[in-house]
Structure 1
Amino acid sequence: MPRRRRRWDNVVINSDEKFAVLRSIGDECIYEDELLGLLKNKPSPTCCVWFEPSTNMDIEQGIMKTIYVNRMVKAGCAVKIVTADWFLQRHYKIGNNLSKIRNIGYLNIEMWKAAGMDLDRVELVWLSDELNLHAVDYWPVAMDVSRRYTMTRIARIFWSNAEHGPQILPAAEIIYPCMQVASILCEKTNIWLFSMDQRDIIMLTRDYCENINWVNKPTILLHDALPNLLEDPEYVDLRDRGRTIFMHDEEHTLNSKIQRAFCPPKVVVHNPCLEYIKYIILPWFGNLEVVQNEWNGSTKTFVSMEELSVDYERGYLNSADVKMALEKAINNILEPVRDYFSGNTKAQALIMACQLQNEITGDVLKIQMQNKEMRHHRQYVLNF
């Protein structure tokens, strides 16, 4: 499936068309009313993309980011990717060694390069450098945010992810929202792009801006997050790697994950396989080819999600055929990434460095699991 050229590729577009491109990226837009005015007055707005490094980069971070960044570049935006290395120190599995965190970031950059992100026209910024250079701007804002909101309000952001509730939330997680609000507001940019899973912090930022009448508020685009591939995601062990697809997954691993994926027949809503098609396949290729084995083995090409959804809901497409098409399409996307890393010694060295880091910090995970068992034992004794 050759990648289809978009109408804005290498074409000068007006402010209305730029607005349409940017809104095609964001499922939600904060301060949308100001976006069109910004584009009319500023032909090349600055756009910052928030990114937190990961040793296991999934295709939301690798492929969706590539799609969106390339769209913004082609729309004439000056794009910066802000790599939040400083915040990664709060994760117990990584620790506070910024040089190790940088290695993870460099690995992610190689992933983007392999995927085809237009990095020659993107500025890469490390948040730790920004904090060092502009501490006088960041820390007063972070302190003001922490002063204006209660612990309960800040902790509420993490309740959905906290295993035992906010009472054992690490203090680092309380600092994080305050510093992220400061990062959003102190970075001199017109537009920010975040994933929808950061929405609570974005709402905190908007609330803070309105409380203090912050001038020059950036427009914030929120793109949708890819769903968990497995049924009943709230009960899925986070260590189950079948929940998502990673940039380094081999073909057989990827195929196995898609075959396990939840794809209920004739159900379009909350169908993770269809979500992957909507946010990955159609934006990347412009179409999806499905071999209809149940009918006569003919191939049907879908160019819109609406068209595919109608056929699927009516039963003209079955889940097995959709999964096969999804497997083929994602493998086609990731094949250049696999080829790039298999023939690039620098990229291979980064993978080894990150794997070594995981081996070292695996001991920390073991200690945490022991602490968890001790807490359960202590609670049992108290109840007894």
Structure 2
Amino acid sequence: MEHSARMALAARNAVEVITREELGELLRTEQHPRVYAGYEPSGKIHLGHVLTINKLIDLKNAGFEVIVLLADLHAYLNEKGSLDEVRQMADMNRACFEALGLEDATYKYGSDYQLEREYVLDVLKLARNTTLARARRSMDEVSRSAKNPQVSQMIYPLMQAVDIARLGVDVAVGGIDQRKIHMLAREGLVKLGYRAPVCIHTPILLGLDGEKMSSSKGNYISVDDTEEQVNAKLKKAFCPEGVVENNPVLEVFRYHIFPRFSSVLIERPEKFGGDVEFESFEALEQAFAERSLHPADLKGAAASYVNEILEPVRERLEEYV
């Protein structure tokens, strides 16, 4: 794959790359650079999580070696359950990720190395170079109790930075809510004698109601939702005719469907124009903006493709029922 194609694939659907120049140089000098994303095992996997999985698949296809950190010790520190509970959840998360297309990634459990002497020593060194205010700011977006955090939650971002060094990766992937932690890593690791990682950030998706995604509202699609649940959720989704800004159904096409399918077929009765096929998200978005594509047809197609994506996950999770 040519450099320009690798670069386009690596940066596709990212809200920012820090920095593009560093990523470009990495792709020029390394045939198989290393990339990682860490996942805190703490509940159901939903399409918001799958966004970073899609990015890892892009990077795998661009020639990267992919490492997935199942951050069980991080989840424990962030009050997501006992060590046994989060380890069991980590195993289930791995099954989901493999079914979504990351079968040949390298999986690491944080507890397998995060208690070793050299790792702990690096965390302590980084703690000496990091103010409490900086650690707290870094954790604000990912902590469930940011107003009254535990000391363990201040250790969390320091460990995440040291993970990057210990795993020997060139690139760190995460949602934009990970930005402050990644910036701490870029600055802090250099002081410890390590390289600053390239950071690729994906957006935070809207909930299906057009509001902030929230577990209390249930305004998201989980990877274990049944076909009927997916159909019902997308049928009710916020999708005003002709409106492309902040449209969660269009986001599903942009971030989940088009990265996995070379073209999308919208099936319609002949009296409504018949079937229509789109070979890019931009073409589909334009048709919707011009109102030549009705929200009901868009939602129906979205449900069909999402169910196709999730079916292997449902089959894999039957092992855990």
Is the structural similarity TM-score above 0.5?
A: yes
- 2:309 is equivalent to residue 311 of structure 1: no
Higher helix residue share = 1
In structure 2, runs of 5+ residues without a counterpart are: none
Structure 2: how far apart are the matches of 1:56 and 1:157? Answer: 24
Corresponding position of 2:177: 197
Q: Deviations over 1:172-218 (max 9, x none)?
A: 222211221222233312222222221221122234357x3855222
Match of 2:247 among 250, 271, 277: 271
Match of 2:137 among 156, 173, 189: 156
- 2:62 is equivalent to residue 85 of structure 1: no
Corresponding position of 1:174: 154
Match of 1:68 among 27, 52, 55: 55
1:266 to 1:253, Cα distance in 2 relative to 1, 3 A: same
- Give the SS at the match of 2:276: strand
Amino acid at match of 1:124: Y
Match of 1:100 among 85, 107, 112: 85
Q: Percent identity?
A: 25
| 8 Å Cα contact 1:292/1:317 also seen in 2 | no
| 8 Å Cα contact 2:189/2:195 also seen in 1 | no
Structure 2: how far apart are the matches of 1:89 and 1:106? Answer: 15
Corresponding position of 2:11: 23
1:150 to 1:317, Cα distance in 2 relative to 1, 3 A: same
1:275 to 1:34, Cα distance in 2 relative to 1, 3 A: same
| 8 Å Cα contact 2:179/2:201 also seen in 1 | yes
Which residues of 2 match residues 6-17 of structure 1 at below 5 A? 13-17=1-5
| 8 Å Cα contact 2:138/2:180 also seen in 1 | yes
1:70 to 1:160, Cα distance in 2 relative to 1, 3 A: closer
Corresponding position of 2:216: 239
Displacement of 1:113 after TM fit?
2.9
| 8 Å Cα contact 1:25/1:221 also seen in 2 | no
Structure 1: how far apart are the matches of 2:75 and 2:162? Answer: 16
Match of 1:112 among 79, 97, 113: 97
Aligned length: 321
| 8 Å Cα contact 1:15/1:43 also seen in 2 | no
Corresponding position of 1:331: 307
Corresponding position of 1:361: none
Amino acid at match of 2:110: L
| 8 Å Cα contact 1:262/1:273 also seen in 2 | yes
Displacement of 1:253 after TM fit?
1.3
- Give the SS at the match of 1:57: coil
Corresponding position of 2:207: 228
Corresponding position of 1:369: none
Which residues of 2 match residues 246-285 of structure 1 at below 5 A? 246-285=222-261
Amino acid at match of 2:208: L
Residues 323-332 or 34-43, more deviating: 34-43
Structure 2: how far apart are the matches of 1:14 and 1:237? Answer: 40
- Give the SS at the match of 1:298: coil
Amino acid at match of 2:255: Y
Structure 2: how far apart are the matches of 1:59 and 1:81? Answer: 17
TM-score (norm 2): 0.88
Structure 2: how far apart are the matches of 1:79 and 1:336? Answer: 21
In structure 1, runs of 5+ residues without a counterpart are: 1-12, 352-384
Residues 146-155 or 331-340, more deviating: 146-155
TM-score (norm 1): 0.75
Match of 1:142 among 120, 123, 126: 123
Structure 2: how far apart are the matches of 1:259 and 1:305? Answer: 20
Structure ID, larger Rg: 1
Displacement of 1:295 after TM fit?
5.8
Structure 2: how far apart are the matches of 1:154 and 1:290? Answer: 48
Structure 1: how far apart are the matches of 2:36 and 2:142? Answer: 26
- Give the SS at the match of 1:48: strand
Corresponding position of 2:34: 46
Residues 51-60 or 265-274, more deviating: 51-60
Q: Deviations over 1:89-117 (max 9, x none)?
A: 0343413x2x3322211111222233333
Structure 1: how far apart are the matches of 2:179 and 2:270? Answer: 41
1:340 to 1:127, Cα distance in 2 relative to 1, 3 A: closer
1:52 to 1:25, Cα distance in 2 relative to 1, 3 A: farther
Q: Deviations over 1:271-303 (max 9, x none)?
A: 111111100011111222223469625111122
Amino acid at match of 1:246: S
| 8 Å Cα contact 1:44/1:78 also seen in 2 | yes
